[in-house]
Amino acid sequence: MKAATAAIILLLCSIVCTAQQKAHILVITGGHGFKQVPFYQMFDSLAGITYDKLAQPQANELIAAPAVKKYDALVFYDMYDSITPQQQQAYLQLLQKGTAMIFLHHALVSYQRNWNEFQHILGGKYYEKATLVNGDTLTSSYQHDVVIPVKIEDRQHPVTKGLQDFEIYDEVYGNFGIQPGIHPLLSTTHPGSSRYIGWVNHYANTDVLFIQLGHGPEAFANPNYRKLLQQGIHWSVQHHRKK
């Protein structure tokens, strides 16, 4: 009887501990259309993760409010351009505190006109218009519905650990700017793409994760992409909890 009671207590402890270890994240969208059902089905499939969802402009308002503290990580899938000076300052304060931030796909295109510092946070910039960068004129490009060969650049990093090189049916971006200090995680040889398509960028007290992949249902359902996203969220949360 005592043994059975002890087993039940251990089981209950295991359930409680597992629940406590779950990462509670905010998924931020807005400014770009996407297939919502398969997108959120992807997040539903991620083990150890619970999420709320919020679109812009309400998301930037929340980021500037105390309620943002209840989230372990902010996952950006938005493509937005409007942000107040107060909201910019709120972002910077969160980064100073070491808040986990993950940016996906078209988040690279955000804040084209009124927040130049954003490219230093994310680690790159999509140039919608021709822009002179270090003596070169860059105009970024995109191409839908292509097969992208993905190379794992750092096989020991917790975000990519256990992943082998893979292919994904997705969208490429080309000729976008990349900050010199990024730590590359993923690259591709696709001719329509810039070389690096996933990285960690250190900004203030935060190691920001960017993954360029993730345009549509085929990408959302890709098991390698799901593993990449799940490991990326868990690493980012645990990494910044230690700070």
The model carries a pTM of 0.91
Mean pLDDT to the nearest integer, 58-85? 97
**Domains defined for the chain, CATH in brackets:** 23-241 (3.40.50.880)
Report the percentage of the chain scoring pLDDT > 70: 91
The pLDDT of residue 15 is 44
Q: Confidence class of residue 243 from pLDDT cuts 50, 70 and 90?
A: low
Report the percentage of the chain scoring pLDDT > 90: 86
Q: Is the pLDDT of residue 10 over 60?
A: no
* pLDDT tens digit sequence for 189-232: 999 999 999 999 999 999 999 999 999 999 999 999 999 999 99
Q: Is the pLDDT of residue 2 over 80?
A: no
DSSP the chain: -HHHHHHHHHHHHHHHHHHHH-EEEEEEE-SS---HHHHHHHHHTSTTEEEEEEETTHHHHHHTSGGGGG-SEEEE--------HHHHHHHHHHHHHT-EEEEEGGGGG--TTT-TTHHHHHSEE--SS-EEETTEEE--EEEEEEEEEEEES-TTSTTTTT---EEEEEEEEES-EE-TT-EEEEE---TTS-SEEEEEEEETTEEEEEE----SHHHHH-HHHHHHHHHHHHHHHHHHH--
